[in-house]
Each structure stands twice: as C-alpha cells, then as structure tokens.
Structure 1
Amino acid sequence: MELLSRTHPTARLQPTRRGGLSTLVSLYRQRRALSKLDDASLNDIGVSRTEAQAEAKRAPWDVPSNWKA
C-alpha cells in the first residue's frame, strides 16, 4: 500500500465522512489497475508480480496505516 500512497496524489488524502466513499472507490480502482499491469510496467515502478497481486487483493476499506487516526 505504501506504493499507492507515494505515487498517486489523491491516495494521500485522509478519508473523511464526506469524501470517504469516493476515496475508497478511487483506491479500489488503483488496486484493480495495478493488478492489470504487465511485468515490464511493474518492473518500472519497482513492484514484483507477487506484491502487486497481494495489494490488488486487499479490501477497499483496508487503507494505509497513515490514513488511520
């Protein structure tokens, strides 16, 4: 998850009551896109296929630890 919070500007936002749902939907979409990257793209961002699959399988509400109060 650390990868997403470093590379995607909206991933740094703390989920709030108003924006929480849209933030979680965005996180879901990022994880889905990560799972579809080819090996060359994953290599470019320094992520192994195993790490990408593990991240993609996380639930949308399983957010980065820095989002938790």
Structure 2
Amino acid sequence: MERTLSSDSFVSSTSSSARAPLFLRALATLATWQRRVASRNELARLDARMLADAGISEAQRYEELHKPFWR
C-alpha cells in the first residue's frame, strides 16, 4: 500500500517554510526601528556644541526627532 501526503499536511509544511523569510524580514524591520529610536535618543542628548561639531543644525535635529520611528 502506498502512502501519500494529504493536502492538509502539505499546505501546513509549505506555509511554515514560506513564513520563515517573512519572520526574518519582520525581525530586521524591528531591529531597524529600534536603531532609529536609539540614535534619535542620542541626537536628543547632544548639546549645541556637539551638534555644530557634527554639522547638524537645530532645525535638522528638530525634523529628525519628530519623525515617526517607522520613517
């Protein structure tokens, strides 16, 4: 007697392997958002002298700090 896979087991095994890249992309996106939040927190702590040394104006800092984390 020959054994075959049912369509249900085939779909579930295929969908779990298809989700792996999506899961990795989601993790990468979350890591990017976390880096943006951290760098903007650092930017918020800079004083005027440090901003000038970095070549960043107060207006540029204001714009960057008021962006949503996903942008």
| TMscore range, shorter length | 0.5 to 0.7
Alignment of 1:6-45 (within 5 A): 16-45=25-54
Helix, strand or coil: the match of 2:26? coil
Q: Which has the larger radius of gyration?
A: 2
How far did 1:31 drift?
1.0
Q: CA deviation at 1:18?
A: 2.3
How many percent identity over aligned positions? 26
Gaps of 5+ in 1: 1-15, 63-69
Unmatched tracts of structure 2, length 5 or more: 1-24
The one of the two structures with greater contact order (alpha-carbon pairs below 8 A, sep at least 6) is 1
Q: C-alpha deviations, 1:42-67, integer Å up to 9, x for none?
A: 001100111111101111001xxxxx
The Cα shift of 1:21 comes to: 0.6
Question: TM-score, normalised on structure 2?
Answer: 0.59
The aligned length equals: 47
RMSD in angstroms over aligned alpha carbons?
1.1
Could you state the TM-score of these two structures normalised by the residue count of structure 1? 0.60
Regions of 4+ moved over 3 Å: none
